[in-house]
Amino acid sequence: MEWVKDQIAKENVGEQVRLIDCRFVLGQPEIGKQDYRKEHLPGAFHFDLDQDLASSVQTHGGRHPLPDLEKFAELLGETGIDDTLTVVAYDDQGGMMASRLWWMLHYLGHPKVYVMDGGFSQWKGNGYPVTRELPAPVKKRTFRIRLQRDAVVPMEEVKAKLGKAGTVLIDSREEKRYLGIEEPIDRVAGHIPGAVNYFWKESLNPEGFWKTVDEQKKRFQDLNPADEVIVYCGSGVSACPNILALKQAGFPNVRLYAGSWSDWITYPENPVANGKEQ
């Protein structure tokens, strides 16, 4: 956060760093954009989860399918982002939405992307500058896709690896949803058989900041870093902060099941644990 504040103070910050406001409230899709228009970090552009970081819902693919990658690359270019620019994403949801952008940029081969620790409320609470002024148009750049295909796992591969040694499946939702006790969003409760539960918010400390490397390592101490780790959640969004935390903890082979639970249950033949219709 201090680094971001220092960058904003520089006259040529827009030539080196691009700030992206990712605020979005699930179930209230207009709130994030409204909050952005009221105030945001100086120079920040806004990316919307539904409109920019996901595509429309189909029969399969989950509630937040990945967007058309060519269109997303075009959006990045229009925002002045290419492989020379550092991207800093922030939100006000504990890093969940910002981590989605972090993961997507890594998936497209752009490693110079970070999530601002603490988020918007912490930033404003520190008395750091905010504005309602929209950023000036920037010079369009060309974003070159260098797709990291191994970063994502299709449903068929997840199913084929259930119970196989060398692969760990992580469910990132809160425990009540994982156990099938309650399911406020999807039509079926429960989890993918064999998955272990690591709620994504456990990536944060009680003050809402990201845990240290040692704390993340302790959190995942029951997992083997040599294993392949496949992470999912409800729709492929809150899995992303867990992927960030796993990478921070030194796990080299971490992949996203992008469709996640909301995709898994669209295949009637797929097994579920603790499953029940809602």
Task: Say if CB 79 and CB 45 are below 8 A apart.
Answer: yes
* Tens of pLDDT, residues 239-249: 999 999 999 99
**What's the pLDDT score for residue 13?**
65
Average model confidence (pLDDT) across the chain: 95
Is residue 91 pLDDT above 70, yes or no?
A: yes
The three-point CA angle 186-205-132 to 5° equals: 75
Task: Say if CB 42 and CB 131 are below 8 A apart.
Answer: yes
Q: Is 240 a catalytic residue?
A: no
Q: What share of the chain has pLDDT > 70, as a percent?
A: 97
* Tens of pLDDT, residues 196-222: 999 999 999 999 999 999 999 999 999
**What's the pLDDT score for residue 10?**
79
Of residues 17, 192, 233, 239, which has the active-site annotation? 233
pLDDT band at 275 (very low <50, low <70, confident <90, very high): confident
Question: Which one has a higher pLDDT value, 32 or 16?
Answer: 32
Give the C-alpha separation, 27 to 50, whole Å: 11
Q: How is 124-164 classified by DSSP, letter by letter?
A: HHTT---B-PPPPP----PPPP---GGGB--HHHHHHTTT-
